[in-house]
Amino acid sequence: MKIGMVGLGKMGANMTLRLIRGGHEVVVTDLSADNVKHSAADGAIASSSLDDFVNKLGKPRVAWLMVPAGAPTEQTAQALAQKFQPGDILIDGGNSYFKDDIRRSKQLKDKGIHYVDVGTSGGVWGLDRGYCMMIGGPKEAVQQLDPIFKTLAPGRGSIPRTTGREKMSGTSEDGYLYCGPSGAGHFVKMVHNGIEYGIMQAYAEGFDIFVNATSKELPEEQRFNLNVADIAEVWRRGSVINSWLLDLTAIALAANPTLSEYSGFVPDSGEGRWTIQAAVDEAVPVDVLSAALFTRFRSRREHTFAEKVLSAMRQQFGGHLEPGTSAKKTA
């Protein structure tokens, strides 16, 4: 299948390469000419401008946006909408606010253009592991894109089948799911990221307790000089709290148990705030998720080992660097 990729950052470039390896033709464009050259060297079809990009797409045209949420996505979507024709499909695979999806889908529907929102999880590891995708939009357009989703998704792999799903059908076991109409995909991804905040915070606080177990405020017989890297590792082996986030924490702690290269300044990318707002709108109590978000706010004023663990996890799974930190410094 022929598809265009707009945005060749950490995820966009890897998704392009995974699609190429899966036998798809991918036309690429990016603000960075070097990024376009790198993807072209991997087998992508380079374009020199947005007009050139659109002209090189097949019909019906399919373009996947992998650019930062907010103004960049809005501007790019509107620019492509001016060049697309009825029957074309525009996919937003970033972390847009689901309410923006609903608004954009209505605008594009008037022009006969299909708008599909795809919450995409997988980070910098997705090239090899595959991407978990939560999809919203017109069902007929989503069905047309199934070969793309199937290639990007992890597939069933070696994960044991969930008891009780033997007679169930669908694609969720393959790693992608049609969640509903426009906005539903990013709504599910939004809550996914809110939960991610909570899980990360729980790990971070636990390791902070370990690091402070030598406190002079404790009776001497209750002080423990614990090896946090080994604890993370042993928890990976049969523990009920094992997870991929723990795997990534273990990697970071094995490299440097003190995490001294991190300040503990932890940004939030928006989805956590939106999750809390959705909870407020629905009158749903979210004690853990809200506390995790507020802890990130606090991290920008004072830094504990917990914040360093969070920074380490964010870099490990998504390649996210702390503000003012170079890739070379953390390599």
Indicate which residues carry an active-site annotation: 189, 196
> Could you say which DSSP state residue 321 is in?
P
Q: 96, 120 in Cβ contact below 8 A?
A: no
Contacts of 168-171 with C-beta under 8 Å, sequence gap 24+, read 171/146
* Sequence-distant (≥ 6) Cβ neighbours of residue 39 within 8 angstroms: 5, 8, 13, 16, 17, 26, 28, 30, 46
Q: Report which of 202, 197, 302, 303 is spatially closest to residue 258, judged by C-alpha positions.
A: 303
State the Cα–Cα distance between residues 118 and 67, nearest whole angstrom. 13
Helices (H), ranges, the chain = 10-21, 33-41, 50-56, 71-81, 98-109, 126-129, 139-144, 146-152, 184-211, 228-235, 244-255, 271-282, 287-299, 305-318, 327-330
Beta bridge partners of 180: 136
Distance of CA 280 to the CA centre of its chain: 24
| φ, ψ for residue 46, nearest 5 deg | -75, 150
For 187, what's the count of Cα atoms within 13 Å in the CB-facing half-sphere?
17
Q: Which two tokens stand for residue 226?
A: 């614990």
Question: What is the residue whose two structure tokens read 């997870």?
Answer: 243
